Every structure is written in C-alpha cells, then in structure tokens.
Amino acid sequence: MAASKPEYLINDSKYSFLKELGLQETNLGVFDGTWKGSGKVVQSICPSNGKVIAEVKQGDVSDYESCVQSSTSAWNVWADLPAPKRGEIVRQIGDALRSKLIPLGKLVSIEMGKILPEGIGEVQEYVDICDYAVGLSRTLAGAIYPSERPGHVLLEKWNPLGLIGVISAFNFPIAVYGWNSAVAMVCGDTILWKGAETTPLVSVATTKIVANVLQNNGLPGAVAALCCGGADIGKAMAADKRIKLLSFTGSTHVGQQVGVDVQKRFGKHLLELGGNNAIIVADDADLNMVVQATLFACVGTAGQRCTSTRRLIFHENVYNEVLGRLTQAYKQVVNRIGDALDDSTLIGPLHSKQSLEKYKETVAEIQKQGGKIEFGGKVLERPGYFVEPTIVTGLKHNNPLVHNECFAPIVYVLKAESVPEAISCNNEVPQGLSSSIFTQNIGNIFEWIGPKGSDCGIVNVNIPTSGAEIGGAFGGEKATGGGRESGSDAWKQYMRRSTITINHSKDLPLAQGIKFE
C-alpha cells in the first residue's frame, strides 16, 4: 500500500509568503534559461516542526550538462558587457532582493532553522554584497609598472575566468552564493550553483529573483544557472574542466576531496571548510562584554555557523567567575528555544535529524571520556530538532573531541595560565577560521595579531568569533581551506591575471641587458 502524501506547509496560511516567492507544492530545481528537472524528487523539511514544506525535482547529470552548456554560451554575451554595465545588472539584483527581503528571510528561517532576524540578515548580506559589487565594477584595477627597456610599457590586466561553480552549504543557504555570485558577475563570469540538498527551496526562490532581472534586461538567464542535486552533481562540477573556478563551502573532509579533484585538472578552487573557533579571555578583560559576546557566539544559529565559538580559553584568574556568569546566561536563554519564526525565539532548531544524532553522539562521548556537562546536554522532547546549548568542562585542550568540530551548540571551556599559553592552545587545532581575544592590554593585542599570534584567517579583538563584515575578506587557513570570499581583494580569485609588455619603439632590447646579436 502506497504511503499517503504529506500535508505540505506551503498550503498553510501561516506560510503564504512562500507563494510570494513563486514556490509551489512541487518545484523544478534546474534552471539553464528555462526551468526543468529530470532527477529525483526531494522533500524540504522544516526543522522547527519536522514537517514537509514542499518538494523539489532535482537535476540529473543530463540536466547538469545542459546547465554547463547554457552558462558557457551565456558567458560569450556576459563577458562582452563593460564591467560597469554588469554592475548595473547586479544593482538591479540587489534591489529585487530588497523587495523580497522579508519573505525570502522567512524562507531561510523555516528551511534552514535560523531565527527570523538572522534569516532576514542573511538576505540583507546578499543585498549588501550587491551594493559592494556595484562599486567594484567601476574600480577593477590593473597596474602600470616601469619597464627597464626603453620604448616599452609593462602592464597588468585582469580578465574574467569564464564559468564559475558554486557549491554552498545548508547553514548559509543564500549569503554564500551571494558573496560568490555578485562579485563573480561584475568580474565577467557566469555562475552555476548547486545549493545544499536540504535547502532546495532557498536555491529555487533566489534563482527566480536573479533570473527575472537578467531576462528583463534581455540577457540569458543562464548567466546564473542552478542545478539542485546530490553528490553526483558535486562530483561532476569538481571534475569538469569547463568550470574554471569551483567555490566549495562545507566540511573539511569533503572539501579536501573536492580540492584534490579540481587540482587534478589544474582548475582553481576556493575552499571554505571547517572551523574550530576559540575565544581567549585575558585576566584584564571586560567580563560584562565577554559574557554578552560569548553567549551569541556559542548559541546563535544553534551553533551552526562556521564561525560559531567551539572553545573558550579563560585565564585562570577569571575562569570561575566567567564560567559561572556564562552558565547563568545559558539558563536564561534556554527558555527561549523555539520555532524559528516566533518573535520571542533566540535559539532555533538544529537543521536536520542527522545533526540531532551527531549532537547526541558527541554528548555521550564527552561523558564517556570524563567531561563534565556544566549545562545542557539534552535533546528537547518536542516536534522538530531542538537541543539544549551545552557547556563542557573537564577535558584537556588537546583531547581529540576538543579538536573535532561538532556542528552543534557545544562549547568546551579550557583554562590557561597566560595569554601566550592561550594563543598556543588556539593554534593547535587543525582548523584556522575565526578567533577572538578579550583584553584591555595593548601588549596582548599586538601579540595576538602579530606573527606569533592567532594563525586564523579572522583575528578579532573584543568582539566574538562570529559576525564578519562584507568589506573584509572572509576565510581561513590550514584545514579551513585557505580561500577568501566577499571583500578586500577577494575579487582577484574570479579573474585571471595577464602581465602585458608593449613595445612601442623600433628596437628589440632584451631584459636584463642580454645581448643576442
């Protein structure tokens, strides 16, 4: 007997905003200029209640091939546009996103699980990077260098790469695509996006907004193609020579294989992988600021940001006080765990049942190894994937559990005798994404940001590990992958550099004064 069809949340009046975004009960998950889908049908599950929101028909390998061909063809049109004209299209995309800010932010909340202010904030981040990219489109700078040869000019010029692949993760189902696509588009690249398999509705709704802008301007929709799918699509992207740069956000384990596969074909890759982020609290820190900052960094997004704080390294002189105050703060916010769309919620659910099981396994292993649960450690008995944020003490800084990132609201509290010892502890993990120190001592600050300080890509002082601004380059070192997205000079990754020498004389002198006569 066939299983009965679930009642989709999209038909509930509470979720009417879904239809504002052009979503239906069943959606096509491939866009190559037209909407299609030949792969399996997947259900999008709301982590706040475990119910089906709607479903998406994914792409298969033939759909992927169609996307690559269409986007490669679209590049011939897109690359011919002057960069400021491309910037104008990205400006319109930013405005289109603004007009859907609330419904799209709500979709992020119900499909990913982050609370509504964060869901809206994620869409705003895409809007902001569009604004940034518009300015960038008029400032993509080359260079002129002095030539040692008379009658010669030495130039440096940047040109677009071509087709860019973007594989994004569930925890930021729209912002990471925005970072990559807005900047890559003004650089003259076209995009093929594979979002997370568990957040297909965000991918479809976002692509509809972008495609509408492109088509209204008489441009090929495949400038921004989409192929929802599973591991087979990701593997195809990694192996495809036509994809000049592959930006991958996800686990270190998978990202390492992606990097190897791309390197095998001499492609370019941009890897944003795992983090194991620490906050150091010196004995002269403002403890009121520490508790406030640490609380959000540890429990915000239910610990599912790549920049969430996983380790707290307290100076022994303030260890007991900060631990006590932080535990009290946890007790206050635990009563505000709930549905991601509810205004009173501060902590939403974990994203999936798989995430829930990983949390349970990690808590059990902590207890098995003698760790002490100072607070939390429980799964909440209610619909959805809710857990208590958890504080752990009693494990050594070099314990494999402490070195391993569990993508959940679990933080390990460690003790250090000095700031140099704490810095060493910060640096000993394989990952190198984000890090913070709280101190009022100028010497501590410059030690922290100096050559023997934090080895992470993001190094903060008196702010938490999470919450990066778009103007700076985002990314990390070591097992975090080494990639950079968003601001600063991250745009250079989406272009190829040409060193150009022009001889405008009648002679042919050689460099270094070499004579060949």
Active site residues: 272, 306
Contact 358, 408 (CB under 8 A): yes
CA of residue 290 relative to chain centroid, distance: 25
DSSP 422-441: HHHHHHTSSEESEEEEE-S-
472-500 burial, b for 16+ CB within 10 Å, e for fewer?
Answer: ebbbbbbbbbbbbbbbeebbebbbeeeee
Q: Which helix (H) or strand (E) holds 478?
A: strand 477-478
**Measured between alpha carbons, how far is 345 from 371 in angstroms, rounded to an integer?**
29
CB atoms under 10 Å from CB of 400, counted, come to 9
Contact 413, 391 (CB under 8 A): yes
In one-letter notation, the amino acid at residue 63 is D
Among 372, 407, 409, CA closest to 387: 409
Are 351 and 47 in contact by the 8 Å Cβ rule? The answer is: yes
User: d(Cα 43, Cα 308) in Å, to the nearest integer?
Assistant: 28
Residue 204, SS3?
Answer: helix
Given a contact cutoff of 8 angstroms between Cβ atoms, the answer to whether 278 and 436 are in contact is: yes
